[in-house]
Amino acid sequence: MRVRFHGVRGSTPTPGASTVRYGGNTSCVEVRLADGSLLIFDAGTGIRECGLSLLQEGFSGPIHLMLSHLHWDHVLGLPFFGPIWRKDTVLRVMPMLTEAQQQAAQARTLFDGLHFPVRAEHVPARIELLPEATSWRVGSAVVRRVPLNHPGGAQGFRVDDADGRSLTYLTDNELSPPTSPQISLDALARFAENVDLLIHDAQYIEEDFPLKKGWGHSTIGEVIELGQLASARHLALYHHEPTRDDDALDALDREIQASLREQKSPMQATMAREGWVLDL
Ligand SMILES: [Zn+2]
Ligand SMILES: [Zn+2]
């Protein structure tokens, strides 16, 4: 499995000189399976770059789009995803978690003539919504999902490829929400058990609380705890807080690495950055 991060920022794009190393584009991760099938997680502004590289490569297979939810930072790049402007593109979209999200996806809210000048019926690509199921066969992999703790609802995914490699994509998710959770820490650890790569929203640090309690994101400390509970091999800290620049993320990374060394943790942890490519 090859994983490529096209956008790692949470909540809003953060272009500028102080964020150029980790990148300012919002959520988008590209995954190539053992058989070459393509999955894209979220359509934040990072998906624009993803589209450019697919067009350059001449990729012609179906594109499987897994949206976590419909907040702006996860869909804003979709109108600028080059392959949708080609007639020969087949875009297969995973069902959304809630009925409200599914209705909004079917109405193609972004392409209603108000939010973007082109209406849905004039988008040339063939867009198919995959049927409801508990698991999906996508190329050489099986994909499953879980509900996450996030205002308005969000879904997370696990991909198990035929060659035994696996990953989970879990954003936006609050591991200790103030109200009764959709999913507990233990249940999520079981869902992510023994994955090669655990990608998780790590937007906050302790100092962000109590103000941001209930906003639907997790602290770095909680995410590390989840990774260790799940015995994940590698943790990718993702969906970075927009107010933290490169130097602030570097400082947090130094703390994380020191703490993992001290604990003699077998888990590797990396602050995800735009353009990072990882072979599992
Ligand atoms: Zn988000
Ligand atoms: Zn969100």
Neighbours of ion ligand 2 (CB under 5 A): 71, 172
The whole-number average pLDDT for the span 108-120 is: 90
262 is in which domain, residue-wise?
2-279
The pTM (predicted TM-score) of the whole model is 0.97
Percent of the chain with pLDDT over 70: 100
Mean per-residue pLDDT, 245-249: 98
| CA–centroid distance for 168 within its chain | 9
How large is the average pLDDT for residues 229-239? 98
User: For residue 105, what pLDDT is reported?
Assistant: 84
Q: What is the mean pLDDT of residues 71-92?
A: 97
**Packed helices 220-229 and 246-263: angle between N→C axes, nearest 10 degrees:** 40
Please name the helix (run of DSSP H) or strand (run of DSSP E) that holds residue 190, with its range, or none. helix 185-191
Q: Distance (Å, rounded) from C-alpha 107 to C-alpha 25?
A: 26
Strand partners, 166: 160
Ligand at shortest distance from the CA of 203: 1
Q: Looking at residue 79, which CATH number applies to its domain? A: 3.60.15.10
Local confidence band at 128 (pLDDT 50, 70, 90 cut-offs): very high
pLDDT at 167 over 80: yes
Question: pLDDT tier at 102 (50, 70, 90 boundaries)?
Answer: confident
- Using alpha carbons, select from 67, 69, 97, 72 the residue that is nearest to residue 9: 72
150 C-alpha to ligand 2 centroid (Å): 7
Question: Taking 80 as the threshold, does the pLDDT of residue 185 lie above it?
Answer: yes
**Cα 69 to ligand 2 centre (Å):** 7
Mean residue pLDDT of the chain comes to 96
On the question of pLDDT at 107 being above 80, the answer is: no
Instruction: List the beta strands (DSSP E) in the chain.
Output: 2-7, 28-32, 38-41, 63-66, 90-93, 126-129, 135-138, 141-148, 154-161, 166-170, 197-201, 234-238, 268-271, 277-279
How many angstroms is it from 262 CA to the middle of ligand 1? Answer: 31
Ordered DSSP codes for 76-117: TTGGG-GGGGSTT-EEEEPPPSSHHHHHHHHHTGGGBSSSSS
Per-residue model confidence as pLDDT tens digits over 211-226:
999 999 999 999 999 9
Q: How much is the pLDDT for 197?
A: 98
> What integer pLDDT is reported at residue 272 of this predicted model?
98
Q: What's the CA gap between 77 and 86, in Å, rounded?
A: 16
Distance 151 CA to ligand 1 centre (A): 11
| pLDDT at site 227 | 98
pLDDT band (50, 70, 90) for residue 137 = very high
pLDDT at 100 over 90: no
Query: Could you count the other beta carbons within 10 Å of the beta carbon of residue 254?
Result: 10
Is residue 231 left, alpha or beta, with left meaning phi > 0 and alpha meaning psi from -120 to 50? left
Say which ligand is closest to the CA of 148.
2
The whole-number average pLDDT for the span 64-80 is 97
pLDDT value, residue 108: 80
Of the candidates 265, 277, 202, which has an alpha carbon nearest to the alpha carbon of residue 230? Answer: 265
pLDDT at position 72 is 96
Query: What is the pLDDT at residue 53?
Result: 98
CA of 171 to the centre of ligand 2 (A): 8
- Measured in Å, residue 73 CA sits from the centre of ligand 1 at 5
Domain count across the chain: 1
Distance CA 243, CA 78 (A): 24
169 C-alpha vs ligand 2 centroid, how far in Å? 14
| Beta-sheet pairing, 154-161 with 166-170 | antiparallel
Q: Which of 107-111, 118-122, 199-203 is modeled with the greatest confidence?
A: 199-203
